[in-house]
């Protein structure tokens, strides 16, 4: 069930993340919730982990409704951090993952403030590509290639949607 939820949310973020930025924040919360559930509830069933992740994602949506820019910045930090640490681990870089997480998170925050619309496209496409590629058990280089291919597709689709609105 968790696999299907990740893929569906990933596809929605990949294609519609800019338009549905509340979904972006909810997706970031869901990602954080799945990660936290493995840390805080290591022996929990898949259903408990799914419910925990959905609650954290729901809190992210509530946050974005209350304080939009802060919510987007938090999502940018989480997604930027997860993306850079994921890429680094697939490249077998021998540096602690948290360093890449913090650097990627800072890049994500900077992007959200510097170029808000474009950062929504980049961050949501990154989140969607990451969720989809992480849903499958693949060789690390194949997974990296899938991630980068999906990222490019998501950016192109969202860019064309933005361009057609203008």
Instruction: Match 């997860």 to its residue by tokens.
Output: 82
pLDDT-above-90 percentage for the chain:
14
Asked if 100 and 88 count as a contact pair (C-beta separation under 8 A), the reply is yes
Asked if 65 and 33 count as a contact pair (C-beta separation under 8 A), the reply is no
> How would you label 109-135 residue by residue, b for 16+ Cβ within 10 Å and e otherwise?
bebbeeeeebbbbbbbbbbbbbbbbbb
Q: What is the pLDDT of residues 117-165, one digit of tens each?
A: 787 788 889 888 988 998 888 888 899 999 999 999 999 999 998 888 7
Angstrom distance (rounded) from CA 130 to CA 83:
7
Degrees to nearest 5, angle at CA 35 with 48 and 65 = 85
Q: What is the pLDDT of residues 55-107, one digit of tens each?
A: 888 887 787 777 777 777 888 888 888 888 878 877 777 777 788 889 989 99
Residue 24 Rama label (left phi>0; alpha psi -120 to 50; beta): alpha
Q: What is the pLDDT of residues 102-117, one digit of tens each?
A: 998 999 888 877 777 7
Residue ranges making up the domain that contains 20: 2-165
Average pLDDT over residues 32-51: 83
> How many structural domains compose the chain?
1
Instruction: Match 């992480």 to its residue by tokens.
Output: 134
Q: 46, exposed or middle or buried, with CB in 10 Å at 0-12, 13-18, 19+?
A: exposed
Asked if 24 and 123 count as a contact pair (C-beta separation under 8 A), the reply is yes
What's the alpha-carbon Rg for the chain, to the nearest Å?
Answer: 15
């Amino acid at each position: 069930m968790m696999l299907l939820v990740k893929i569906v949310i990933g596809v929605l973020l990949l294609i519609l993340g800019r338009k549905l930025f509340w979904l972006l924040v909810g997706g970031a919360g869901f990602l954080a919730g799945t990660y936290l559930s493995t840390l805080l509830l290591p022996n929990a069933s898949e259903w408990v982990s799914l419910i925990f992740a959905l609650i954290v994602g729901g809190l992210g949506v509530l946050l974005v409704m209350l304080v939009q820019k802060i919510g987007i910045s938090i999502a940018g930090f989480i997604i930027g951090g997860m993306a850079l640490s994921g890429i680094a681990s697939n490249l077998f870089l021998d540096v602690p993952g948290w360093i890449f997480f913090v650097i990627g998170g800072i890049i994500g925050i900077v992007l959200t403030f510097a170029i808000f619309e474009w950062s929504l496209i980049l961050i949501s496409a990154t989140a969607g590509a990451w969720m989809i590629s992480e849903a499958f058990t693949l060789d690390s280089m194949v997974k990296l290639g899938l991630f980068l291919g999906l990222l490019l597709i998501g950016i192109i689709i969202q860019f064309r949607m933005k361009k057609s609105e203008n």
